[in-house]
Amino acid sequence: MLIPSLHKALNELELLLQQLSNDDFTLPCKGLSNSTIGEHTRHIIEMFQCLENQYENGVVNYDKRNRDYRIQSDTHFALKCIADIKNQLEKDNKNLLLEQIVDQEELHIESNYFRELLYNLEHCIHHQALIKVAVLQLEHLQIDADFGVARSTIEYRKQCAQ
């Protein structure tokens, strides 16, 4: 169920990017402290890439991302990156060590691949919610009503509607 949910979130992002010009993609949004849809998209993509690139050695540090600014300025390149991510998601679950510095303290936390995929899904949805703020200023775009909404919220709303 996790992989299909990841594909769903990434497909939603792809559908949005297919509607965007590079100008729309790089347009600062006042409601997001002048960040752009492209910047949020790059952040989503690079978190997935980071997990992919560090999977083999078993130590994941999301602060050690590539920060490829082409992703935030070129919708076609961003779409290619998303397609690559979707093709690489299905791996065996294995133990991973999450490494991060928080308030000048280096932390090492045991995790596993599936847990990190789930983290990336939730992180993706969070940034899609932020992207939605920018999309609302671009009236010519259409997005699904559930874009940027947590899966648990969608299920809750379904239950309330019954």
- Who's near 73: CB < 8 A, 6+ residues apart? 22, 25, 26, 38
The predicted model scores a pTM of: 0.93
- Cα 65 from Cα 123, distance rounded (Å): 15
pLDDT digit string, tens, across residues 55-97: 999 999 999 998 999 999 999 999 999 999 999 999 999 999 9
- Cα 11 from Cα 16, distance rounded (Å): 9
Q: Which residues of the chain have pLDDT under 70?
A: none
